[in-house]
Structure 1
Amino acid sequence: MFNNHHDMKSLDGQQPLMNKSIFQEQFVVNGEELPLNLIIKMLSARYAPAEVMELMRAVCLHVTSDDNLRVSLEFLYTNGFLDDVAILINKNKQVHNARNHNWASVYQVILDRRKNRTKPHRYLSMLSSLKLEEDVLLCLRDFLHVYAYYEMCQYGMLGKYLDSLTENLATIEEPLIKELFSLRLDEVLLTYHWKRNEMVMARKYGFRLLNNTYNPRKKTDIHNTMALGYVFDRYQQAMSHANEALTIAHSINHSPGVYGITNYTIPFISAYHGVTDGVTSDDEAEQAHLALARGDNAACIEIIANIEFKTPFQMYYLGKAMQDKRLLEKSYVRFIEERSDYFFARLPLLELNRLN
C-alpha cells in the first residue's frame, strides 16, 4: 500500500511529516478516503506508537470525507491535540452534512470545558440547548454529565450514567470511535470503583488505561489517581505513581498538573505516612496536614480554624489534631452523604477506630 517514493520511514527529522500529496497517495483509493480505523491499523503495522500518533495527527488534518472529519474530532481530543480539535470543529461546520454540524457543536462544548475551564453548570446548559439523537452524541452527553458530577465531587452520581453509556456504546458501529469511547468509559469506571472503595476493580481499569493511553496529560491524571488509590496500602507504591505523574506533567509543561501533584498529592501521601522531610505545600489544608504529621497539632489547629467553610478533609485534620470524635464523625458523614466517597471516608473512620 505504501509507495516507496513517499515512504514515511521515521519522524527523526530525516523526512518531513506527511503532507497532503503523501496522504492522498497513500490513503485515497479510487477517489475514496480510507476510513481512519483502517489507516491507523496500517500505520501501526509499520511504526512505533509515538510515530503513529504524530502521523495520525497529520492524517486527521488532511481528511476531507464527512465520516473521517467526524471521527477525527474524537481521535484528536482523546490524544490531547486540542488546538487541532478547534481546526476540525471549523472544518466540520463547513461541510454540507447536518451530522457533522451536530458533532462540531458538541465538541465545541467539550473543548470549551477543557481549554477555558468552563464551569459544570455552564457547559451542561450549553449541552442541553443542542438536539442530540445520534448514539455517539448521546454517549458524549453522558460523559459530560459524568465529568460535571466529578468536578462537583458528587461521585455517587457517576453510577447513574454507567448503564446508558454501556448501552449506547454497544450500538456504535464505527470501530475507532468505539475503541476511543471504551477508554473514556474505563476512566469513568476507574473513578467509580475508586470512590466506592473497590480497589481491585479500580486498579484493573487504571493499569488498563496506562497500557492503552498515549495522551501524556491523561497518563498524568491516571498516575495521580493511582497514587492516591494506594495511600492506605504502601507509601512507596503511592509515591512511585505520584512521581511518575509529576515527571510526565513536567515533560509536557502541564503547569496545573505540576501544581496539583506538588501541592496536594505528594504532601497528602507524605503526611499520611509521616514521611515529611523536605515536603512543603502552598495549600493551607495540606500545610496543616504536614504539621499534624510532624506532631505540631497546635499549628494544624490554628491553620484549619481560620478556614471558614471546611471540607471533609479539613474537618478530618482538625478532628485528628484535637482528638475530637464528634468532628471525625461529622467528617465521615460528610464524605458519605455529600460526596459518596467511601474511599476517603476511611480517613476519619480509621482515626475513630484508633481513638476507640
Structure 2
Amino acid sequence: MTSNQSRFSHWEPYYINGKELPLHQVYQLTFATLDQQKAIETMRQLCLTASTDENKRIGLEFLYSYGFLSDVQELIEQNLQTKNPVNHRWAAFYQIIYDRKRTKNQPYDFTKTKAYLEKVKRLSFHEDELKCLSDFMHIYAYFELKQYNNLGHYADQLFTRIFYIEDPLLKELFSIRLDEVQVIFHWKRNEMIIARKFGYRILNTTGSLRKKVEVNNLMALGYVFDSYDQAMIHINRALTIANGIELMPAINGITNFTIPFISAYHGVTDGITTTDKAEQAHLALARGDRETCIQLLSEFESLSPFQQYYLGKALGDKALLEESRHRFIKEQSDYFYVKLPINELQKMKVNYY
C-alpha cells in the first residue's frame, strides 16, 4: 500500500489490487453510493492524494470546477514535482487559471486580464485538453473585457475539441464549463430561450455549489426584463447557497449589485441597500430622488454605459441615452442590456425596433 493509500485506508474500494482507479471511475462510484456533499469531499481528498500522473492532472480540473482554489494550488505543486512533462504543462496552465481566479479583476481595470492572456499565448502545448483550456481562457478574457462578439469563435472550437476528449470526467467538467459560456454568449445576444436552456441544464447537472451560485445569478439577471418574481427566485437561491458555503465574493456581488439592480429596475426598493455607488444612484432614481442620483453619478470620473443610462434617465437627456445605447452595442456587443436605454428612449417616442 502506498503512503497516499495508508492516509485514507478506509477508501480501499477506490483501489484494485493496490492500483489507484482512474478518477472518472471514482467519480461514478462516489456519486452513486454517497450523498452529494460526501461524494464531493471524497473526490476532493482523493484528488489531493492521487498517485498516478493522469489523476493528478484530471484532479486539477475537478478541484477548480468545484471551487477548491487553495487545493488547486497544492495540486499544481504536486504536478510540478512529477517527472512527467505533460503534468508540468498542465500545472503551468492551471497556475494561470488559479492566479486569475484568486485576483479577480476590478471593473474596467483590464491590465491583469491582458497579462494572463499573454501568458497563455506564450505556453507551448499540443494536447487537446490544453487547447480546450486555452479556448476557455480566451473566452473568460473577452468576457472580462466586455468584447462579447469574440466569444462565438472560441465556443465553436470548444464544441469540436471537447468531443475528442477521452477522459469521461474531464469531458463532463469541460462540457459544463462550455454550457456556462453558452449562457453568457446567448444572453448577451438577447437570445434568452437558448441561454436559459443551457442555464437550467447546468443547474440540473452540476454538483458544484459555487457553480449553482454563479448560474443562478446569471439566470436572475437574464430575467430582469421579463419577470421580477422569477429573477428574485433565482437570486434568492444563489444567495442561500452562497451563505451556506460562506462564499463572500458572491454574497457581496449579490447583495450589492444583483439584488439592488433588479429591485431598482422594477421599483421594488423597500429595505434595499448597497455599498455600490452606481446602484445607490439607481435606487435613488427608482425612488424618484433624481437629485441624489445625479449627485452620486457626478462623483464618477467617467461613466459606464449603465451609468450613462441612469444619468440620462434622471435628466431626461436623449443624448446621454443615445450614447449609452451606442456604447452597449459598439463597445460591448451587448444586445441584452442595450434594452435599458432603448426602452427609455421609446418612452420618449424614439423608435429603435
2:224 corresponds to 1:231: yes
* Pick aligned residue for 2:235 from 238, 242, 248: 242
Listed as ranges, the gaps of 5+ residues in structure 1 are 1-17
| Alignment match, 1:74 | 61
Q: What secondary structure, in the 3-state scheme, does the structure 2 residue paired with 1:280 have?
A: coil
User: Structure 1 residues 236 and 334 mapped into 2: Cα distance closer, same or farther (>3 Å)?
Assistant: same
- The one of 98, 102, 106 equivalent to 2:93 is 106
Q: 1:87 aligns to what?
A: 74
- Shift in Å, 1:32: 2.9
Specify the code of the residue in structure 2 equivalent to 1:55: T
Change (3 A) 1:97 1:299: same
Instruction: Confirm or deny that 1:278 pairs with 2:306.
Output: no
> Which residue of 2 is the match for residue 349 of structure 1?
342
CA-atom RMSD in angstroms:
1.6
Task: Specify the SS of the correspondent of 2:331.
Answer: helix
Establish whether residue 22 from structure 1 lines up as the match of residue 9 from structure 2: yes
Deviation of 1:24 (Å): 6.9
Structure 2: any 5+ residue segments left out of the alignment?
106-111
Distance, in Å, in 1 between the alignment partners of 2:131 and 2:88 is 15
Letter in 1 for 2:344: E
The one-letter amino acid paired with 1:67 is E
Which digits, 9 at most, give the CA deviation of each residue in 1:54-84, with x for residues without a partner? 1111211221111111111111111111122
CA 1:23–1:83: 2 relative to 1, 3 Å:
farther
Report the secondary structure of 1:339's partner residue: coil
Q: How does 1:94-133 map to 2 (within 5 A)?
A: 94-117=81-104, 119-133=112-126
2:33 is the counterpart of 1:46: yes
CA distance in 2, matches of 1:73, 1:238: 33
> 2:207 corresponds to which residue?
214
Residues 19 and 53 of structure 1, relative CA distance in 2, 3 Å threshold: farther
| CA positional deviation for 1:298 | 2.1
Q: Compared with structure 1, are the counterparts of its residues 127 and 142 closer, same or farther at alpha carbon in structure 2 (3 Å cutoff)? A: same
Q: Could you say what secondary structure the match of 2:235 adopts?
A: helix
Q: Which residue of 2 aligns with 1:150?
A: 143
Give the whole-Å Cα distance in 1 for the aligned partners of 2:277 and 2:8: 56
Separation of aligned partners in 1, 2:114 and 2:155: 21
TM-score of the superposed pair, with normalisation by structure 1? 0.91
Offset at residue 308 of structure 1 (A): 2.1
**TM superposition shift of 1:217:** 2.0
Number of equivalenced pairs? 339
Q: Give the TM-score, by structure 2 length.
A: 0.92
Q: Structure 2 vs 1, CA of residues 188 and 239 (structure 1 numbering), >3 Å: closer, same or farther?
A: same
Match of 2:296 in 1: 303
State the identity as a percent.
53
Structure 2 residue 325 is matched with structure 1 residue 332: yes
Amino acid at match of 1:94: Q
C-alpha separation in 2, matches of 1:50 and 1:24 = 16
Q: Distance in 1 between matches of 2:15 and 2:7?
A: 11
